[in-house]
Amino acid sequence: MSERQSSGAASVKDKKSSDNDNQKKVQEQDDFDIDMGAPETEKAAVAIQSQFRKFQKKKQGADDS
């Protein structure tokens, strides 16, 4: 049984592509600014946490059955 090996050029291209992806991720993180002290942000965080806790309880109840 013979397997094909990828050429060295393809791996170099993949490395360059992953470097570009990493740079894009860093740029995406810097594209927005959230005021962590704003009351709306705190309300949103509490709502998200509440829903996640409900999800965890529901999931835990399903695992116990």
**For 9-58, how does the pLDDT look when each residue is reduced to its tens digit (9 = 90+)?**
555 556 666 677 777 666 665 677 889 899 999 999 999 999 999 999 99
Sign for the CA dihedral angle at 31, 37, 39, 44 comes to positive
Q: Give the single-character DSSP code of 38.
A: S
- Residues in contact with 35: Cβ distance below 8 Å, sequence separation at least 6, in sequence order: 41
Alpha-helix runs per DSSP H in the chain: 8-30, 39-64
Neighbouring C-alpha atoms within 13 Å toward the C-beta of 44 = 8
Residue 63 has pLDDT above 80, yes or no: yes
Q: Measure the CA–CA gap between 1 and 23, rounded to whole angstroms.
A: 40
